Structures are given as C-alpha cells and as structure tokens.
Amino acid sequence: MTKAVYRKIITEEINNNKYVCYVYLINIKNRGVIMKKIFLPLILFFSFQTFALTNAEVRNVIQTEVVDLTTVPMQVDSATKMTDVYVSTRGIVYEYNISADQDALGDISTILTTIKSNSVQLYCDNDAMAFYKTNNIDAFYVYYDVSDNLVGLFRVSNFDC
C-alpha cells in the first residue's frame, strides 16, 4: 500500500481574526475514517477563539475603563446631552437626550442615519476602538427627546466594519 501525504493550508477570516489550519490529507485506504476520528476533532479544537474575553470580563473592563470614568450628564453639542452610560451583556449603552420635542425634529431617520454612519466610522477606523473590535463588543446608542420619548436607537458592532 502506497501512502502519500499532502498538506493543504486553509485560511479563513472570521470577525477580523484570521485562522490558519493545516490539513494533512493522507492518500491511503480508509482515509475517511482517519479524517473523522483524528483530524476533524483537531480542526474543531483549534478553530475556536481562545483569546476573546468572556461576557463577564468584557463587562468588568467596560465598567472600570469607560463607565466609571465617564461623567454624566455631559453636553455633547448644543442640542444633545449624554445622560447615561452603562454596560450591557456584551457591550455598552449610551443614552442621550435631545433638547427638542420629537415633533420638532423633522425627519429623524435621516438624522439617526447620519449619526450612525459617524459612529460606525469611529468604531471601525479609530485605533482607540481596537479593544471593542477584537472582543466583538456592541455599542448601543439610545436617543430621547426633551419629554423622554424614545426618538431612536441603533447598534454599532464589529459586523458594521
């Protein structure tokens, strides 16, 4: 029986993390059994992220590095005030009040689309946000009007980049 070993490199990128897997294909009789019993468990074992933080670790870091250091309320611009910042399951929530009534805001979808576009650009392109991207942390933005009526909300995550 002749054996031939071939090495194939499989590279896959998942959530900006590159995984390289070396698969050895053995050209022998019953190679399907070998692949199922030996190589498949090895491939699965090495394909999981081992460096990403758990949800609890993410919440602790966000709490100590962001929430505890943020003073609210904080005037963002002439019409917008950040009123609260807190952690979520695997992310951070920013709450804002707009100093106008919902009816006076006009086309709020256009305004929120512009704000989200700027937030996505900041999240994806700013080196200070590398921790967020590496650990798949979501940032939620919630906007209320002067009467505390919900105006809109959106999420920015690694999937937006």
CATH number for the domain including 131?
A: 3.30.300.250
Per-residue pLDDT reduced to its tens digit, 33-78 = 544 555 555 555 554 444 568 889 989 999 998 888 888 899 999 8
pLDDT of 129-159, one tens digit each? 888 888 889 999 999 999 999 999 999 998 8
Same domain, 61 and 138: yes
Helix (H, G, I), strand (E, B) or coil at 54: coil
Same domain, 75 and 137: yes
Indicate if 23 and 99 belong to the same structural domain: no
Give yes or no: residues 83 and 125 share one domain.
yes
State whether the Cα torsion 124-127-129-132 is positive or negative. Answer: positive
Q: Does 25 score more than 50 pLDDT? A: no
pLDDT at 11 over 80: no
User: 69 and 124, same structural domain?
Assistant: yes
Query: Does residue 6 carry a pLDDT above 90?
Result: no
Residues 136 and 101 in one domain: yes
Instruction: Give the pLDDT confidence score for residue 15 in this predicted structure.
Output: 47
pLDDT for the residue numbered 53: 80
- Mean pLDDT, the chain, whole residue set: 77
Closest CA to 96 of 44, 47, 145, 54: 145
Q: How many domains does the chain have?
A: 2
- Domain range spanning residue 136? 55-160
Q: Are residues 19 and 74 in the same domain?
A: no
Residues 102, 31 within the same domain: no
